[in-house]
């Protein structure tokens, strides 16, 4: 039973344009959501998080949006840069901080 | 700030052999996690420690996997005996005290395990 789903295995975007990565979840008890970026042969790197009491959190070029009624969150990267090319994982947690990860989306930013 | 350290980076063993991985978390992080990441999937939590106590090991295959964090700092994860399906990347992560509420987890670079 996949509680966190990233339905797009890959995404290709032109440099300078917006990248939008999507994530859906099924567990209504999740109250904390995170995005991680992963380069080959490295561990996931924490990008940005959002609590369920908010619907938006912004950090530089990265913005996460949370739609609790739709059980959907998205990560916007503006403007996209070639160095953003990586695998992006969505993760969710309920009390106790146990993270449940999606399968990841490969982002390719073309220059 | 030094990140999460893991060793070895790569390990190749034959099935039925044993293997151990080591993790040193970020200094001051009370909570330590071991994840298994199979190719094409997201990381899956195996075990979570709070200091030297186990918080969650519900997804740890206890017939072959074991983990310890004796002094509340570094940790080892062992597989004995290994099966072919254990081929994966084993990631260690740490976070500040989970009792402070949600904290982001910070990951090491992992150990890539191949079973022949």
pLDDT per position as a tens digit, A52-98: 999 999 999 999 999 999 999 999 999 999 999 999 999 999 876 68
| Alpha-carbon span B22 to B7, nearest angstrom | 5
Q: Which fold has domain B5-115?
A: Immunoglobulin-like (2.60.40)
H helix runs in chain A, sequence order: none
pLDDT per position as a tens digit, A80-92: 999 999 999 999 9
Beta bridge partners of B11: B113
What local confidence, expressed as pLDDT, does residue A95 receive?
A: 73
Domain range summary for chain B, segments of one domain joined by + = 5-115
Q: Which of B57, B102, B105, B107 is the best mutation test for A, with the most CBs of A within 10 A?
A: B102
Q: Check whether the bond before A58 is cis (ω within 30° of 0).
A: no
Instruction: Give percent of chain B with pLDDT exceeding 70.
Output: 97
pLDDT per position as a tens digit, B48-73: 999 889 999 999 999 999 999 988 89
Contact A45 B107 (CB under 8 A): yes
B97 band by pLDDT with thresholds 50, 70 and 90: confident
Q: Which fold has domain A4-106?
A: Immunoglobulin-like (2.60.40)
Contact between B92 and B34 (Cβ < 8 Å)? yes
| Alpha-carbon span B102 to A32, nearest angstrom | 7
What local confidence, expressed as pLDDT, does residue A94 receive?
A: 83
Domain range summary for chain A, segments of one domain joined by + = 4-106
Closest-CA residue of chain B to A89: B42
A 10 A CB-CB count for A83 gives: 9
């Amino acid at each position: 039973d996949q509680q966190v789903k990233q339905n797009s295995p890959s995404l290709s975007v032109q440099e300078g344009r917006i990248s939008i990565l999507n994530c859906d979840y099924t567990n209504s008890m999740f109250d904390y959501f995170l995005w991680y970026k992963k380069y080959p042969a490295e561990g996931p790197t924490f990008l940005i998080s959002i609590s369920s009491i908010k619907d938006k959190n912004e950090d530089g070029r990265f913005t996460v949006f949370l739609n609790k009624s739709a059980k959907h969150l998205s990560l916007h990267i503006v403007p996209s840069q070639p160095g953003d090319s990586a695998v992006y994982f969505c993760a969710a947690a309920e009390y106790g901080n146990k993270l449940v990860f999606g399968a990841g989306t490969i982002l390719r930013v073309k220059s | 700030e030094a990140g999460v350290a893991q060793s070895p980076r790569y390990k190749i063993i034959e099935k039925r052999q044993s293997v151990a991985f080591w993790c040193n978390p970020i200094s001051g992080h009370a909570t330590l996690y071991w994840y298994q990441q199979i190719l094409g999937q997201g990381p899956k939590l195996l075990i979570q420690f709070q200091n030297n106590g186990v918080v969650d090991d519900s997804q740890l295959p206890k017939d072959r996997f074991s983990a310890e964090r004796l002094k509340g700092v570094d940790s080892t994860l062992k597989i004995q005996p290994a099966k072919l399906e254990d081929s994966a990347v084993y990631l260690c992560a740490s976070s500040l005290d989970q009792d402070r509420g949600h904290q982001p987890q910070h990951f090491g670079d992992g150990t890539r395990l191949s079973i022949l």
